[in-house]
Copies of this chain bind each other. A is one copy, B any other.
């Protein structure tokens, strides 16, 4: 057992293979695919204690615990999920998966296309939030889970939770929609497009078939990540953390690192460029852009949310300018218009969009209380 207290300990990812073709929103069909996932806690006898954790842009199935004794950092939401933690694995059975199109084990553009044996690359179809929900439904079916106690996620993960409640109202008891939005603003889309253009115009992208050329579009991915990082943090927290602190004592008059903030951003960009698939990044940003429950039926958000039956906890963070609290309030209003039960909290937090990943005591106490109540209501 890993020495970390309150940890789910060592976990081993599993792979579910699906060979029933899936018709995607784009019109394309994928004949078969794998989803990699992890589980924490124990599924109870009537399978009523399952939680689905949906990931954001660069997330994956490794949500909590460690893959080995040697692994230094636990899963990406380990502070939220574990025995005695806000999402308590003593009561709940938690599933984290890597979404279709990802690059952490689920079938995606870097996976071999069974027809050719070569990576899908640019032939991998576009995926939407709604498509992900359908693949998640199939995973639930595979595990015998008729209804989730909770579907939850932050950011793009929150959009999936929202989509679940619309598409499969009978299969979600509670939805936790954190630091999310009912759709991107023009500014959000604009930032995504700059990131995409950075990748698409990198000569090493090769129209998405860079695998065959033995290169990766590092420059583009690096820029995309640097830009993304700025939007994840608040102006204030960047000011507190870096301010105008110089790497050296005096100005260098060169294009090396002058300010600490440059050092941080370039490091984040480099790290990401070494590990993330460029085609997946493109797909994920497009899934964000496309998400809009009002789009298909050309109705307002209240009408779009009308099928939802779940109870909701909606959380936003004051300094989040990527998905500002006002966006969460749009969701809350739409739910109240439909007489849904909604708890809403706007957490005072300095960390911007990234706050949803931080162990803020107020935030965690709130989720904890909601989850305890939910467990009670569900007789868990």
Contact = CB atoms under 8 A, between A and B. Distances in A.
Nearest to A251: B290
12 contacts: A26-B251, A27-B253, A126-B253, A183-B244, A185-B244, A186-B239, A189-B244, A191-B230, A196-B255, A198-B223, A251-B295, A321-B321
Interface string A220-262: 0011001101100101001101111000000101010011011
A194 B244 contact: no
Nearest to A245: B186
A223 to B, nearest CB: 6
A292 interface: yes
| Chain A binding surface SS class | helix
Interface of A: 25-28, 125-126, 183-187, 189-191, 193-194, 196-198, 200-203, 219, 222-223, 226-227, 229-230, 233, 235, 238-239, 241-244, 251, 253, 255, 258-259, 261-262, 265-266, 269, 282, 286, 289-290, 292, 295, 321
A200 B255 contact: yes
Given A185-B244, A194-B230, A223-B223, 15 more contacts: A28-B253, A125-B253, A126-B253, A185-B239, A186-B238, A186-B241, A186-B243, A187-B233, A190-B226, A190-B238, A190-B265, A193-B259, A255-B282, A258-B289, A321-B321
Nearest to A240: B186
B194 A259 contact: no
B289 A259 contact: yes
Counting from the closest, the 5 A-B pairs by CB-CB distance are A26-B253, A186-B238, A186-B242, A126-B253, A186-B261
A305 B38 CA distance: 59
B244 A186 contact: yes
A187 B235 contact: yes
A197 B185 contact: no
Contacts of A229: 190
A226 B187 contact: no
Contacts of A241: 186
A227 B185 contact: no
A24 to B, nearest CB: 9
A350 to B, nearest CB: 13
A265 B189 CA distance: 11
A255 B281 CA distance: 13
Contacts of A125: 253
A351 to B, nearest CB: 13
Contacts of A289: 258-259
A229 B193 CA distance: 12
B262 A226 contact: no
Contacts of A193: 226, 259, 261-262, 265-266
Contact of A190 (B25, B194, B230): B230
A344 to B, nearest CB: 21
A223 B238 contact: no
A114 to B, nearest CB: 22
Contacts of A235: 185-187, 321
